[in-house]
Structure 1
């Protein structure tokens, strides 16, 4: 089974590739000639994931899955949310985003937050979505050298370290993206089973 993962983010690609069953041949956007930035103009995380999958399916014809992720901070009324990647501006700069988040969280006692990922899978012209959520809190300072995005300031519930302090495997086992991807993989395994 060939599937396109609609992302240009190499970090996401590595995370996802390590979790997919070997029967699935993962194609990148570059490999199918999709070099443009896919629009993400929906008002919700789910809407963005669906929009990206539909874009690739309609223009390139491949079965495809895409994801969108947001960091939702309670005291900031769910911000940065759907704007997580562009929180500090359109340049999508992880460090600038973290700087702005920590500035907006200064002196806030309630540091509860959650990461939410939605995967949208368009296969045989059917759309399916899979959600993964992990709760945690925003640290006062960056901790760790690994990961990407807000990983250095997000500490999941029940852990004494941030995502950036974890190995990729540790993070995949508990992360929002890992949880949503596990649901997607389970669905694909059933689909592959019905094809055999």
Structure 2
């Protein structure tokens, strides 16, 4: 069930995420506002799972603004690395958001491994809270299975997309048509789940 407020805060300053959430709620009479526009700083992500981090971010944004809050957390999990980079996907090589360095570190750690040993998945969790103390948050998860390539391919997308080969496709996530990627990706799946729950 959707919270009644026509304004929801997004616990992120990421322009791409803001576009996705605004598109999801277009025509629904809900304005999605990034937390930065309301003077809310990011909270430290101290959770031990994607769900915990998404809840931390959403509760913080709801507490600071008094509005319903949306948050997400996502990452790449590689079986051969025990699930790494996982929660640390954005800062795997040390500096937050350095995609080139993160990819280089990942490929170095998988060097010499066969295709079969490179199984991986992107995971995204989206949380919607009506208030900071909401005991029944809406939680949606998307999982996108694939494997890690031996070298980057394509210049579309972002993050690890150039080295992720989705199951059932012959090109990297960075080479997929953006509309197709948005529909089948981990975040696309989680957004579709959120849409279904809100339409109940």
TM-score (norm 2): 0.89
Sort the Cα spacing of 1:143 and 1:66 in 2 relative to 1 into closer, same or farther, 3 A: same
Question: Partner residue of 2:143?
Answer: 133
Question: Partner residue of 2:38?
Answer: 32
Task: Provide structure 2 residue ranges, at least 5 long, that are not aligned to the other structure.
Answer: 1-5
1:130-161 CA distance string (max 9 Å, x none): 11001001111111111111111111100011
Q: Aligned partners of 2:176 and 2:67: how far apart in 1?
A: 34
2:169 corresponds, among 140, 155, 159, to: 159
Matched, 1:22 2:32: no
Question: Partner residue of 1:114?
Answer: 121
User: Over aligned residues, Cα RMSD in angstroms?
Assistant: 1.4
1:106-135 CA distance string (max 9 Å, x none): 111111100110111101534221110010
> Number of residue pairs matched?
189
**1:11·1:148 contact (CA, 8 Å) conserved in 2?**
no
Task: Provide structure 1 residue ranges, at least 5 long, that are not aligned to the other structure.
Answer: 191-196
- What SS does structure 2 have at the residue aligned with 1:43? coil
Q: Aligned partners of 1:42 and 1:48: how far apart in 2?
A: 5
Map 1:75-90 → 2, pairs under 5 A: 75-90=80-95
- What SS does structure 2 have at the residue aligned with 1:170? helix
Question: Partner residue of 2:51?
Answer: 46
1:162-195 CA distance string (max 9 Å, x none): 11112321111100000011111122233xxxxx
TM-score (norm 1): 0.90
Question: Partner residue of 1:185?
Answer: 195
Question: Partner residue of 1:193?
Answer: none
**1:133·1:176 contact (CA, 8 Å) conserved in 2?**
yes
Question: Partner residue of 1:103?
Answer: 108
